[in-house]
Amino acid sequence: MPHLLTPIRCTPQYYHKIWGGGRLAPTGGDKHIGEVWLLSALAGQETPTEGDDYEGASLDALVTRYGDRLLGRGQTARCGGAFPLLIKLLDAKTDLSVQVHPSPDEGGKDEIWYFLETEPTSHICLGLTEPMTADALRSVIERDDLMHYLHWEPVRPGEAIALPAGTIHALGAGSMLIEVQDTSDTTYRLYDYDRVDDSGTRRTLHIEEALRSATLEPHRLDARHLPLGTPRFVCRELVVTREAPQTITTDGTSCAILVGISGSIELGGDSAGSWQLAPHEALLLPAEALPMQVAPSEGKALMITLTPAEL
């Protein structure tokens, strides 16, 4: 019988951004770190695995090696033999660009944002204030009037927002969050406040691509709290208390990904050893490693699972 798979940690990758803050930077590091990629199989931006069990292999390589033992029943075929999710932390010192993502079928993504920290004035852009045609929105952009047609919502810690592909959106200054998405980094910018990058070059806009992908109407915000899902993944909140142990299980249909929010979480399973999860860390629990026990303590994590595959 093969050795049971153990939980997987990856080495985070840190990215300098023009809008980035300093809350996620390593001690003494870049004070404009805007993104920390916790789990990624995106080509050229992979997060290498840690530990002797996996020897630095990429997540895609592990999917090739272990298939449904890692992802869950029927998930390997459904995901095309690739690791399907990209998990990030974002820290916005200033506003991000107004942007849109194409659909997953066109190489884009759905997203869910979970807010870790905000300021009293923190807000996000969600859609337009009124329905518009592509020609009308193009005219608004050309006369530099887009900001008057964007709908903004306040956000607070502990809230979660689903951003389906096609949603015109922007993250406002002051927020730090967990971003869960399909494996894609395709972003079309509609507006970027006329900013220039570190070399003094104005950042590229993608007006025509964005207009072809965007939902050109107000965004319906149905919920601000977990659980939230897309056709391919679901996000829930795991709250750990001192009263009783808990069990994480998916009945073999999916792996589980935990991202620490607060406190300390300890997990153990049928295979030897235990694993600790601290805030801002990610731990990938292979489907084969589940169920796993969560020891009584005080902590909170975001838990991400894949929706069951149709077999």
Residue with tokens 């991202």: 259
Give the pLDDT confidence score for residue 271 in this predicted structure.
Answer: 59
> Is 139 a residue whose pLDDT tops 70?
yes
The pTM of this model reads 0.95
Please state, in angstroms and rounded to a whole number, the distance separating the CA atoms of residues 261 and 277. Answer: 9
CATH topology of domain 13-225: Jelly Rolls (2.60.120)
Mean pLDDT, range 18-33, rounded to an integer: 86
Tell me which architecture the domain covering 233-306 has in CATH. Answer: Sandwich (2.60)
> Is 229 a residue whose pLDDT tops 60?
yes
CB-based contacts of 177, cutoff 8 Å, min separation 6: 89, 90, 113, 114, 115, 116, 171
Percent of the chain whose pLDDT exceeds 70: 98
CB-based contacts of 24, cutoff 8 Å, min separation 6: 14, 33, 34, 36, 89, 91, 176, 280
- Say whether 189 is catalytic: yes
pLDDT in tens, 269-290: 765 578 999 999 999 999 999 9
pLDDT band at 71 (very low <50, low <70, confident <90, very high): very high
Please state, in angstroms and rounded to a whole number, the distance separating the CA atoms of residues 18 and 198. Answer: 7
The encoded tokens of residue 59 equal 């997540």
Give the pLDDT confidence score for residue 163 in this predicted structure.
Answer: 98
- Within 10 angstroms of residue 5's Cβ, the number of other Cβ atoms is 23
Say how many CA atoms lie within 13 Å of 155 toward its Cβ: 30
Q: For the chain, what are the domain ranges?
A: 13-225, 233-306
Please list the alpha-helical segments (H only) found in 143-265: 207-213
Give the pLDDT confidence score for residue 304 in this predicted structure.
Answer: 98
> Is 27 a residue whose pLDDT tops 80?
no
Query: Is it true that 13-225 and 233-306 share their CATH fold?
Result: yes
Higher-scoring residue by pLDDT: 259, 197: 259
> Is 28 a residue whose pLDDT tops 80?
no
**Beta bridge partners of residue 259, listed in sequence order:** 282, 302
Mean pLDDT, range 77-99, rounded to an integer: 97
Instruction: Tell me which of 9, 69, 78, 189 is the catalytic residue.
Output: 189
